[in-house]
Amino acid sequence: MELRARVMAAVKQAMRDKATARLSTLRLISAAIKDRDIAARGEGNDEGVDEAEVLAILGKMVKQRRESARTYEEGNRLDLAERELAEIEVIGEFLPKALDKAEIEKAVADAISEVGAESIRDMGRVMGILKGKYTGQMDFGAVGPLVKTKLSNG
């Protein structure tokens, strides 16, 4: 089932279940997708965003909530941090399974060989391949330094 349809089905189910916290998060997801659709239509894309872009939106939402939760924890606002973490769980239901460390290293090695990367100058192309194939499955902020290390060590 398409990601967009899964989100809408989850919204309807949360409404039936009267799960207000879950419903709130699902509506945020839906609104973020619709906002990006509107922006895409303004750019001439009448069909809206594709699955990869929806995954990117969800990944960005998770990243924002992780940062907020960390900030709330540092500020000793554990109630707000817990709410952010609960939202991450709901958003995570729509993301593909995150890759483990070994899978990430293999994906990086495969991307490097696919591009034929030999130096740090090829990092952008390697990251482009990874983002195209593994959006929502890895934290690119953490993968970047790994790619850089592999390319600089040759």
Question: How many CA atoms does the CB half-sphere of 80 hold within 13 Å?
Answer: 12
Q: Say if residue 58 is in the same domain as residue 132.
A: no
Domain around 46: 3-92
| CATH number of the domain within which 60 lies | 1.10.1510.10
Q: Say if residue 88 is in the same domain as residue 107.
A: no
- Per residue in 27-55, pLDDT tens? 999 999 999 989 888 888 777 788 878 88
The DSSP element (H or E) to which 139 belongs, if any, is none
Name the domain count of the chain.
2
Residue 45 main-chain phi, psi, to 5 deg:
-95, 95
140: nearest Cα among 116, 107, 114: 107
Q: Say if residue 44 is in the same domain as residue 86.
A: yes
CA torsion angle 57 110 105 58 (round to 10): 10
Q: Say if residue 17 is in the same domain as residue 86.
A: yes
Q: In the listed set 92, 113, 144, which residue is the last one of a domain according to the structure?
A: 92
Q: pLDDT 10s digit of each residue in the chain, 154 long?
A: 588 899 999 999 999 999 999 999 999 999 999 999 898 888 887 777 888 788 888 988 988 999 999 999 999 999 999 999 999 999 989 988 888 889 998 999 899 888 888 888 888 898 988 888 887 788 788 888 888 888 887 5
